[in-house]
């Protein structure tokens, strides 16, 4: 058996080599981003991640530490995504739009794709008030909820590189738009009233639509809000008939284009 000092020296050498390899890998990530930008390739390529995982699965098959090593690989991938997101976006990504436009779904997907932190203004309010949105509306009324929403946005104004999913009515107040603009690129997600109805019809968590679950009402309210949504937005993405991945890819492409201007 080797002496303990010798084993420890070997471990230290492994750590050193691992760190050197990780730094080399990070530099490659930087190069990949630059290459994709220059050649107009999609930033998100989940099939490449799947290919890498398959290749590693193959190499590690039968290895006693297969599970642990795959876990480490998961961390490395997450770190790469973070580096990628940091290189691409210095701002927050604030998602706005009508109920059912896909803000939460897109936010969850972006979170995984870019390993960015995600916050929802509605969730912040529910946590702070200790009750559901519908209960806040019922107990204190809409103006109280809107004040909570403005406070949540103020709380977020000094954050950076976070995905902020805003409640559907958040940008109806100009002060909220001003506060969001301080640190965020604002992305408007849109969908036709028919698509919206399809997406929200089974939800009883949207007090604004209680008793009005129909296309006519949705179309009317959407039209009333349209100007504010469009004025607040830096970027607009139509979500009808698109997969979440397609939406995220378009969103990232548009944001990069904006950063480059």
Q: Which residues bind ligand S3P (CB under 6 A)?
A: 99, 103, 122, 133, 167-169, 206-208
Residue 119: exposure state from Cβ atoms within 10 A (0-12, 13-18, ≥19) = buried
Min dist CB 240 to ligand S3P, Å, is 17
Kind of pairing between the strands at 117-120 and 92-96: unpaired
Cβ proximity to ligand S3P: between 116 and 124 the closer is: 124
How far is the C-alpha of 134 from the C-alpha of 46, rounded, in Å? 37
The secondary structure of residue 240, as a DSSP letter, is T
Cβ proximity to ligand S3P: between 35 and 144 the closer is: 144
Cβ proximity to ligand S3P: between 97 and 183 the closer is: 97
Residue 68 corresponds to which tokens in the numbers above? 């642990």
Task: Return the SS3 of 89.
Answer: coil
Cβ proximity to ligand S3P: between 84 and 107 the closer is: 107
How far is the C-alpha of 130 from the C-alpha of 93, rounded, in Å? 26
Min dist CB 206 to ligand S3P, Å, is 5
Residue 64 corresponds to which tokens in the numbers above? 């006693």
């Amino acid at each position: 058996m080797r002496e303990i000092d010798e084993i420890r020296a070997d471990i230290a050498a492994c750590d050193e080599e691992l760190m050197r390899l990780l730094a080399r890998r990070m530099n490659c990530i930087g190069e990949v981003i630059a290459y994709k930008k220059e050649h107009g390739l999609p930033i998100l390529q989940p099939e490449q991640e799947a290919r890498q995982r398959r290749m590693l699965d193959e190499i590690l098959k039968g290895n006693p530490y297969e599970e642990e090593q795959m876990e480490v690989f998961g961390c490395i991938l997450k770190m790469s995504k973070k580096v990628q997101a940091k290189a691409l976006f210095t701002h927050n990504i604030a998602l706005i739009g009508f109920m059912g436009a896909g803000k939460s779904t897109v936010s969850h997907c972006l979170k995984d794709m870019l390993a960015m932190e995600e916050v929802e203004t509605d969730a912040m309010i529910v946590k702070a008030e200790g009750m559901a949105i519908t209960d806040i509306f019922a107990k204190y009324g809409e103006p109280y909820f809107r004040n909570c929403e403005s406070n949540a946005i103020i709380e977020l104004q000094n954050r950076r590189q976070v995905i902020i999913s805003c409640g559907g009515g958040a940008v109806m107040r100009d002060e909220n738009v001003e506060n969001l603009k301080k640190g965020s690129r604002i992305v408007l997600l849109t969908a036709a009233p028919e698509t919206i109805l399809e997406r929200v019809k089974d939800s009883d968590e949207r007090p604004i639509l209680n008793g009005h679950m129909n296309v006519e009402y949705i179309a009317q309210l959407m039209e009333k809000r349209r100007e504010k949504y469009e004025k607040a937005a830096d970027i607009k993405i139509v979500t009808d008939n698109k997969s979440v991945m397609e939406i995220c890819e378009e969103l990232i492409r548009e944001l990069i284009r904006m950063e480059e201007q």
